[in-house]
């Protein structure tokens, strides 16, 4: 906090933190639809300072809190103990995006000084053994499922990001610029969660956005799963946390989209059916799935990977650096191409179905036309003969059978002759058409004379 020249209080982006704060972000393997309208927004849960107007304008895109609870510090239990760290406060928060992608936030603050090695061990346990975390005397996920009212078991997703806001002596050690090798060793120990030997960690590098490092005042460094943000004011810490939250949610959506695209590809390949109705049902189901994938990519990924939510240089630098190290841009492009190709396959299958149905209808029409023609051809001569024998004419002898060809052969010949002539003429016409088609085909298949190559002249 500084004092402005006009006598008004000016909140600086840098500040001194006394107690270390760690914010844990865990993607959840479920979809939770947020209430509409939401009783509380994310901007109401944390102080965002000068970033608040930006977040309020884009509040419709932000994740919505679906569960908020202040829990007793002793109720959060780690499987391997607290590693010498003492929790002073724990806030539990579950948020869900408008598409229903859920993320668990644990906002932890520690009492007293925190050692870098202890912090690294605490981060490793809460990341790699997060399935064994307990809330009170119950598994954490079981307690969350009950509080959320879910009927299916709740699972952790694959993505974790842990934001460390050092306080006290740890902050001073990280911001000290007299010994950069010591600073680098501390950063690597925390960011790699103590999983690398000390000598190897000193040679490893972490991402440090250049505009977020001010020697002795502020520092921002991160890897894929851990960020260290030192010397920042609370509203900047929370703004950076929103950025990390968006990245974790987007990465989870990308992974789910990729798996769903592969599942639909297998469903399309393994569909063994020739029934038009079943094929039409399959196409409809695949089309609905592709539409959902496109919505996920648009509103679950693209909405969180640019700087539109908080168009500030502080957050843009961290967002760009974290996005690059997570490879979200490339994954988004690849997933979008996969969905486009899946759409092409569905369209091709739909076109093949339409062509097959049209061919079936054409064959059915030809068969019906042939049956009508045959029925007409068969029915007309007997009709003429019946009309001839039915009249009271002098040529009809009541004492003779109508099958007496010696007497009535001329009548039979006159009745059938026009149709026989018609069949013969039709036969020769069809032969003529066939010969003409064959000649056209032969002409089209005939080799053409080679085109002489253009003459080239050589320059002097």
Q: Is residue 378 part of a domain?
A: no
Give the span between the Cα atoms of 99 and 89, in whole angstroms.
31
Q: Is residue 3 part of a domain?
A: no
- Judged against a pLDDT cut of 70, whether residue 289 lies above it is answered with yes
Please give the pLDDT value at position 205: 62
Judged by average pLDDT, the poorest of 110-124, 153-167, 185-199 is 185-199
Q: Which residue has the tokens 């946390």?
A: 241
Same domain, 119 and 108: yes
Same domain, 190 and 272: no
pLDDT band of 27, cuts 50, 70, 90: very high
Give the span between the Cα atoms of 414 and 179, in whole angstroms.
120
Q: Is residue 370 part of a domain?
A: no
Give yes or no for a contact between 107 and 21, defined as CB atoms under 8 angstroms apart. yes
Q: What mean pLDDT do residues 74-88 have?
A: 91
Please give the pLDDT value at position 459: 42
Annotate 48-90 with three-state secondary structure. Answer: CHHHHHHHHHCCCCCCEEEEEEEECHHHEECCCCCCCCEEEEE
Please give the pLDDT value at position 2: 36
Please give the pLDDT value at position 395: 62
Same domain, 283 and 203: no
Give the span between the Cα atoms of 351 and 278, in whole angstroms.
15
Tokens of 287: 């089309």
pLDDT band of 399, cuts 50, 70, 90: low
Q: What mean pLDDT do residues 114-132 have?
A: 94
* Higher local confidence (pLDDT), 265 or 127: 127
Q: Is residue 114 part of a domain?
A: yes
Residue 315: which of 306, 325, 324 has the closest Cα? 306
Q: What sign does the dihedral 275-278-282-284 (CA atoms) show?
A: positive
Q: What mean pLDDT do residues 397-404 have?
A: 57
pLDDT band of 436, cuts 50, 70, 90: low
Judged by average pLDDT, the poorest of 10-24, 261-275, 325-339, 390-404 is 390-404
Tokens of 338: 């996969």
Tokens of 238: 């929370």
- Judged against a pLDDT cut of 60, whether residue 374 lies above it is answered with yes
Same domain, 264 and 220: no
Q: Of 359, 382, 403, which residue sits at a domain end? A: 359
Give the span between the Cα atoms of 239 and 230, in whole angstroms.
14
pLDDT band of 382, cuts 50, 70, 90: low
Q: What sign does the dihedral 353-356-361-364 (CA atoms) show?
A: negative
Tokens of 108: 């932890």
Tokens of 224: 């894929």
What are the beta bridge partners of residue 409? none
Please give the pLDDT value at position 455: 47
Give the span between the Cα atoms of 85 and 163, in whole angstroms.
16
Q: What mean pLDDT do residues 258-280 have?
A: 78
Please give the pLDDT value at position 445: 44
pLDDT band of 315, cuts 50, 70, 90: confident
Same domain, 406 and 312: no
Residue 37 per-residue DSSP state: S
Residue 168: which of 114, 88, 215, 232 has the closest Cα? 114
Q: Which tens digit of pLDDT belongs to each residue from 157-178?
A: 999 999 999 999 999 888 886 5
Please give the pLDDT value at position 380: 65
- Judged against a pLDDT cut of 70, whether residue 124 lies above it is answered with yes
Q: Is residue 381 part of a domain?
A: no
Q: Which residue has the tokens 């039709």?
A: 426
- Residue 138 sits at φ, ψ, to 5 deg, of -125, 155
- Judged against a pLDDT cut of 70, whether residue 53 lies above it is answered with yes
Cβ-based neighbour number of residue 419 at 10 Å: 15
Give the span between the Cα atoms of 242 and 56, in whole angstroms.
13
Q: What mean pLDDT do residues 356-367 have?
A: 71
Global pTM value: 0.74
DSSP E strand boundaries for 136-243: 138-139, 156-165, 219-222, 226-230
Residue 409: which of 393, 391, 388 has the closest Cα? 388
- Judged against a pLDDT cut of 80, whether residue 191 lies above it is answered with yes
Q: Which tens digit of pLDDT belongs to each residue from 231-252?
A: 999 999 999 999 999 999 999 9
Give the span between the Cα atoms of 187 and 283, in whole angstroms.
52
Residue 96: which of 169, 56, 41, 20 has the closest Cα? 41
pLDDT band of 7, cuts 50, 70, 90: very low
Same domain, 235 and 254: no
Q: Is residue 91 part of a domain?
A: yes
Same domain, 337 and 412: no
Same domain, 91 and 220: yes
Tokens of 395: 């040529």
Domains held by the chain: number: 3
* Higher local confidence (pLDDT), 301 or 2: 301
Please give the pLDDT value at position 451: 44
Q: Is residue 215 part of a domain?
A: yes
- Judged against a pLDDT cut of 90, whether residue 303 lies above it is answered with no
- Judged against a pLDDT cut of 80, whether residue 219 lies above it is answered with yes
* Radius of gyration of the chain from its Cα atoms, rounded to whole angstroms: 40
Please give the pLDDT value at position 88: 94
Q: What percent of the chain has pLDDT over 70?
A: 73
Residue 455 per-residue DSSP state: P
Cβ-based neighbour number of residue 76 at 10 Å: 19
- pLDDT, averaged across the chain: 79
* Higher local confidence (pLDDT), 406 or 226: 226
Please give the pLDDT value at position 165: 96
- Judged against a pLDDT cut of 80, whether residue 387 lies above it is answered with no
Please give the pLDDT value at position 297: 86
- Judged against a pLDDT cut of 80, whether residue 349 lies above it is answered with no
Same domain, 338 and 411: no
Q: Of 231, 248, 265, which residue sits at a domain end? A: 248
Same domain, 418 and 310: no
Please give the pLDDT value at position 5: 36
Judged by average pLDDT, the poorest of 70-79, 88-97, 339-348 is 339-348
Please give the pLDDT value at position 444: 42
Same domain, 33 and 162: yes
Q: Is residue 353 part of a domain?
A: yes
Burial classification of residue 280, based on how many CB atoms lie within 10 Å of its CB (0-12 exposed, 13-18 middle, 19 or more buried): middle
What would the DSSP string read from start to end of 171-202? HHHHH--S-HHHHHHHHHHHHTTT-S-HHHHH
Q: Which residue has the tokens 């009927």?
A: 151
Judged by average pLDDT, the poorest of 312-326, 361-375, 438-452 is 438-452
Please give the pLDDT value at position 442: 43
Please give the pLDDT value at position 65: 93
- Judged against a pLDDT cut of 80, whether residue 409 lies above it is answered with no
Q: Which residue has the tokens 């109508």?
A: 402
Show the domain range for 429. 391-434
Same domain, 75 and 218: yes
């Amino acid at each position: 906090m500084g004092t402005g020249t006009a006598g008004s209080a000016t909140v600086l982006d840098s500040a001194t933190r006394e107690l270390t704060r760690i914010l844990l972000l865990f993607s959840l393997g479920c979809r939770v639809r947020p209430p509409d309208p939401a009783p509380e927004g994310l901007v109401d849960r944390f102080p965002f300072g000068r970033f608040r107007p930006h977040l309020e304008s884009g509040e419709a895109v932000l994740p919505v809190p679906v569960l908020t609870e202040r829990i007793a510090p002793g109720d959060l239990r780690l499987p391997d103990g607290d590693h010498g760290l003492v929790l002073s406060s724990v806030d539990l928060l579950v948020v869900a995006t408008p598409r229903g992608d859920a993320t668990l936030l644990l906002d932890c603050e520690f009492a007293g000084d925190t050692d870098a090695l202890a912090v690294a061990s605490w981060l490793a346990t809460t990341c790699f053994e997060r399935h064994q975390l307990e809330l009170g005397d119950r598994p954490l996920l079981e307690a969350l499922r009950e509080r959320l009212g879910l009927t299916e078991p709740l699972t952790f997703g694959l993505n974790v990001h842990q934001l460390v806001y050092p306080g006290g002596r740890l902050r001073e050690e990280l911001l000290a610029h007299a010994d950069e090798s010591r600073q680098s060793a501390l950063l690597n120990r925390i960011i790699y969660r103590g999983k690398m030997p000390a000598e190897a960690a000193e040679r490893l590098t972490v991402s440090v956005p250049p505009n977020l490092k001010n020697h002795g005042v502020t520092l921002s460094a991160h890897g894929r799963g851990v960020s260290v943000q030192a010397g920042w004011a609370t509203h900047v810490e929370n703004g950076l946390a929103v950025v990390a939250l968006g990245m974790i949610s987007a990465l989870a959506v990308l992974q789910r989209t990729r798996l769903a695209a592969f599942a639909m590809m297998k469903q399309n390949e393994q569909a063994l059916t020739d029934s038009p109705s079943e094929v039409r049902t399959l196409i409809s189901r695949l089309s609905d799935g592709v539409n959902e994938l496109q919505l996920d990519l648009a509103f679950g990924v693209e909405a969180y990977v640019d700087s539109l939510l908080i168009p500030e240089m502080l957050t843009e630098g961290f967002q760009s650096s974290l996005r690059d190290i997570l490879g979200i841009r490339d994954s988004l492009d690849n997933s979008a191409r996969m969905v486009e190709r899946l759409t092409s396959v569905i369209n091709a299958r739909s076109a093949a179905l339409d062509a097959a149905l049209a061919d079936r209808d054409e064959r059915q029409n030809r068969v019906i036309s042939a049956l009508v023609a045959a029925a007409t051809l068969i029915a007309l001569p007997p009709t003429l003969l019946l009309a001839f024998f039915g009249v009271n004419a002098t040529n009809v002898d009541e004492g003779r059978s109508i099958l007496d060809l010696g007497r009535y052969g001329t009548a039979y010949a006159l009745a059938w002759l026009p149709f026989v002539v018609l069949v013969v003429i039709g036969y020769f016409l069809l032969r003529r058409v066939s010969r003409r088609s064959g000649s056209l085909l032969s002409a089209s298949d005939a080799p053409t004379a080679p085109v002489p190559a253009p003459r080239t002249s050589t320059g002097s």
